[in-house]
């Protein structure tokens, strides 16, 4: 069952997503959450999976910019596909962190969408 009320009431996560949106401005088309955070209480999750949809030609630039963004919870990793690959952060042994996947909004990673398109929660502006 979707954990929507818990997600939207989490000021840390919603605040950090607002910071990401403000930082990336027009380069970002959509922000969605996926993974265990959607059905587990936030207190039981070890990471929060965030999907950022943007123009393909901005993906590398966004990845590098995110590495310099100061968030309330740290970014553990940044990837360009569901199975890994690309990005500018490596796995860090941190509890309560963000795992970010940056996707081309016009042609998102097929494997990612097959697994997550029905189980993604779009964060409203």
Give tens-digit pLDDT for 54-103: 999 999 999 988 988 989 988 888 888 766 555 656 556 566 789 999 99
Strands 47-54 and 28-34: antiparallel
Classify residue 79 by its DSSP letter: E
4-122 belongs to CATH 3.30.460.10: yes
| Token reading at 104 | 């081309």
CB 103 within 8 A of CB 55: no
The whole-number pLDDT of residue 9 equals: 81
pTM of the predicted protein model: 0.87
- Backbone phi, then psi, for 31, in 5-degree steps? -125, 130
Q: Where are the alpha helices (DSSP H) in 1-58?
A: 4-9, 11-24
| Token reading at 109 | 């990673």
The whole-number pLDDT of residue 36 equals: 83
| Token reading at 123 | 């964060």
């Amino acid at each position: 069952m979707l954990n929507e009320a818990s997600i939207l009431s989490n000021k840390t996560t919603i605040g950090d997503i607002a910071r990401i949106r403000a930082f990336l401005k027009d380069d970002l088309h959509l922000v969605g959450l996926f993974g265990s955070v959607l059905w587990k209480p936030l207190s039981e999750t070890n990471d929060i999976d965030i999907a950022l949809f943007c123009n393909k030609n901005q993906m590398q630039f966004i990845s590098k910019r995110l590495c310099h963004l100061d968030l309330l919870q740290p970014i553990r990793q940044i990837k360009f596909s569901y199975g890994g690959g690309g990005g500018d952060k490596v796995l860090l042994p941190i509890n309560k962190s963000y795992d970010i996947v940056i996707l081309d909004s016009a042609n998102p990673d097929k494997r990612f969408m097959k697994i997550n398109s029905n189980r993604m929660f779009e964060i409203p502006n």
